Structures are given as structure tokens and as C-alpha cells.
Amino acid sequence: MGSGPITGPVLTEGTARDLGAQSADLAGVPAKPHPTDSAEIGGTSWRRFVFRRPLAALILKRLGLSIGLLFAVSLMIFGGVEALPGDFATTYLGQSATPQAVENIRKDLGLDRPWSERYLSWLGGAVKGDFGTSWASKQSVSEQIAKRLGNSLFLAFFAALISVPLAVGLGMLAVQFRNRMPDKIINVISLAAISLPEFFIGYLLIMVFAVELGVATFPATVYDTMTLAERLSAIALPVATLVLVVLAHMMRMTRAAILNVMSSAYIETAELKGLGTFRIIARHAAPNAVAPVINVIALNLAYLVVGVVVVEVVFVYPGMGQYMVDAVTVRDMPVVQACGLIFAAFYIFLNMAADILAILANPRLRHPR
């Protein structure tokens, strides 16, 4: 996993500098899709559907694309794991194992079968939600993951709950006070937060709040027996770490997207109607900045779910990330594959959701001529 949030397309701020500059383009609004783009796919009934319900057709197409992508990713995960040096048998038995013992274990695990056969049987199980049994613990991978995934989502959910409204709000605040003190302060702090790797922020928070001040809990391990309040207090530090890491990116993109829209002619129109700054930003700029902002938010949510690996390890939090890292160290392939596929599914799903929301946010697509 990377050491920072995934960066999406970056809006240029250059054109946004002059508020009144006239720009005739409708920022961020893609043109109506070409009718033939989708017509290639199939016969006349699909064509008719595309013509009658262009929006639904577009969304269906995006859905199909995601499913295809997920299959491609499953192949890549399997291939990648296959290509890793070393295998479970040697790691499990140690360096001094006899070739015969290694061979036996490989046979037990079915590693002597060709990879295509193993891939298909694994995929067949995965589609039904069965990821096989862990080689190390001999337990069902699906059961183990279910519990851990719940923990990871719990963490990511609270991080998102705090970071998304905060980021969008700060972004709008920065636009309202652009190039003045509040904007500069927001910028410097968020830049500092984005520049530090999350494990560093994590340890820093532990040192200050858990060790020096003693107000927070560490390690952030949660148990089944804990109440909600206890859980929340346990995850305070990892949530704070995640928020600090994703906040800056979302906030800066919100600011850039709104500023980009602020240079359009219809904002000048709003100004010449004598509207107040806040109304101009909230009513006239924000709806047109929604599409790029949704994209960044989705990317960062995906990062929250996928990128928790490092944070979970730092805070000894029993989530998916920690589970996966443990599995990698012992070459427990069914677990690694399952975690990889689930992370990929989240990533693909969130991006798809962002695309569909961006399509829905576009008045040209929502209200065709």
C-alpha cells in the first residue's frame, strides 16, 4: 500500500485567480454523450434503450464496466500472488525441511495442480462468498474476514463521517476568504498534514495524547465485549490519524473546484444580480463543482477502507489491514487473495458510485433536451 492518499485528477487553479474573468466554458460539465458510443455494444433493442433512456443506459454501462474490471483484477491478484518468491511450505517448515516434506505439504494444499485450474476453483468459491480455508490457521477465511472487515469499516465510517463534511466546509470557507488569512492558515495546516506519512502522524498522536497527556487509549484494540462508547474511545486516535491524512486532499480539491467554477460567466451574472458572497458560493458555484468534488471524496473514501493497513498496524487495531499484513508474512495465500479482492471490490465500487453520482449531478444528462 502507498504511503499517502491516492491522488486524483488535480484541477488547475490558474484560471480561478481572477474572479471576474469571463470564461465561456461550462466548467466540469461534460457534453452529452455521443449516441453511437454505446450503440456499438449490441443489437437494436439496446440501441432503442440507449435512445429512450440515455441516463439509465449510461449507468448500466458503467455497472457492467465495473464488473468486468473486478474480474480482471481477480486475475491480476491471483497472478501476482502466484509470482511472489517463496511459498507457504518452505516458510512453514523452515529452511531445513526435507524436499519430501515440502512436496507433501504442497500436495495437501493442491499446489501441484496447474494454476488455471486453481484460479477457476478459487474464483468459483469467491463468487459464492467462500474464500477457502486459511493455510496457517485452518479456519474459514470468510468467517475471519467478516469480523475484521466489520472492524475496518467501523473505523473508516467514523473517519469519513468527520472528514468529509469538515473538508467540504473548510474548502468553502477557504474560497470565501481566498488569499486572506483564514485561507492561508487552512492551506498551511492541511499541507503539513498531507506531507507527513500516516505512520508518523500516528506515532506522533500516540506520543502526545496517549503517553504525554494520557487522555487517549493505546493500543486501539477492540473486543466483542466492548460497549459502543468504549469502542469509540479506543478508535479516537486512529480516526484522528485517518482524518488528518485524507482531509487536506479533499479540502484542497473542493477549494480548487469551486474557484474554477467561480471564474465562469454565470458567477459574474450572479454578482451583477447583487447577491451576497455566500449565496453565490453555495447556490451558484457549489452545484457545478459537485462532480469533481464527489470524485475526490470517493477516492479518499476508498483510501480510507484500503489504506487503513498501515494505520491498523500502528495502532494494533484488529481490522482487515492487519490481518492481511500478518498473512503476507507467512505466505498464507488464500487470506492474501481474499483481502486483495475485497479491497479491490471496495475501490472499484466507490469509484463507480462516484461516476454515477457525477452523471446524476449533470443537469445535461439528467434533463435531456
Partner 1 sequence: MPDLLSVKNLKIEATSYPPGEPPKVVTLVEGVSFDLEKGKVLGLIGESGAGKSTIGLSALAYGRGGVRITGGEVLLNGRDILNLDRAGINEVRGRHVCYVAQSAAAAFNPAHKLGDQVIEASLRHGLMSREEARKRALYLFRVLGLPNPESFGERYPHQVSGGQLQRAMTAMALCPNPELIVFDEPTTALDVTTQIDVLAAIKHAIEETHTAALYITHDLAVVAQISDNIMVLRHGKTVEYGTTKQVIEAPREDYTRALVNVRQAKREEAGDQSGALLKIEHVHAGYGNGFKVLHDVSMHLPQGQTLAIVGESGSGKSTLARVITGLLPPSEGRIMFDGKELPKALKGRAQEELRRIQMIYQMADTAMNPRQTVRDIIGRPLSFYFGMSGAKKTERVKELLDQIEMGSRFLDRYPAELSGGQKQRVAIARALAAKPELILCDEPTSALDPLVAEGILNLLMKLQEETAVSYVFITHDIAIVRAIADSVAVMHRGRLVRFGAKSKVLSPPFDDYTDLLLKSVPEMEIGWLERVLKTRRMESAGN
Of the residues 3, 139, 195, 269, which one makes contact with partner 1 according to CB under 8 A: 269
| Of 264 and 295, CB closest to partner 1 | 264
Distance between CA 76 and CA 316 in Å, rounded? 29
DSSP structure class, residue 316: T
Residue carrying the nine cell digits 449490441: 42
Residues 6+ apart with CB under 8 A from 166: 243, 247, 251
Query: Applying CB under 8 A, does 150 fall inside the site for partner 1?
Result: no
Residues 6+ apart with CB under 8 A from 237: 202, 205, 206, 209, 210, 216, 217, 218, 220, 315
| Of 53 and 279, CB closest to partner 1 | 279
Query: Applying CB under 8 A, does 274 fall inside the site for partner 1?
Result: yes
Cβ atoms of 148 and 318 closer than 8 Å = yes
Of the residues 59, 162, 265, 330, which one makes contact with partner 1 according to CB under 8 A: 265
Distance between CA 45 and CA 54 in Å, rounded? 13
Query: Applying CB under 8 A, does 271 fall inside the site for partner 1?
Result: yes
Q: Measure the N-to-C terminal CA separation of the chain; round to a whole number of Å.
A: 45
**Helical spans, DSSP H, in the chain:** 35-39, 44-52, 54-83, 88-93, 99-108, 115-127, 141-176, 181-195, 198-205, 228-262, 265-272, 277-279, 286-306, 308-314, 320-329, 333-360, 363-366
Of the residues 87, 183, 268, 326, which one makes contact with partner 1 according to CB under 8 A: 268
Query: Applying CB under 8 A, does 128 fall inside the site for partner 1?
Result: no
- What does R_g of the chain's alpha carbons equal in angstroms? 25
Of the residues 2, 3, 18, 207, which one makes contact with partner 1 according to CB under 8 A: 18
Of the residues 264, 295, 300, 337, which one makes contact with partner 1 according to CB under 8 A: 264
| Of 29 and 102, CB closest to partner 1 | 29
| Of 175 and 194, CB closest to partner 1 | 175
Query: Applying CB under 8 A, does 179 fall inside the site for partner 1?
Result: no
Query: Applying CB under 8 A, does 23 fall inside the site for partner 1?
Result: yes
Interacting residues with partner 1 between 275 and 334 (CB under 8 A): 275-276, 279, 283-284, 287-288
- What 3-state class would DSSP assign to 23? coil
Of the residues 2, 3, 30, 35, which one makes contact with partner 1 according to CB under 8 A: 35
Query: Applying CB under 8 A, does 360 fall inside the site for partner 1?
Result: no
Query: Applying CB under 8 A, does 363 fall inside the site for partner 1?
Result: yes
- Residues of this chain that interact with partner 1 (CB under 8 A) are 18-26, 29, 34-36, 264-266, 268-276, 279, 283-284, 287-288, 363-364, 367, 369
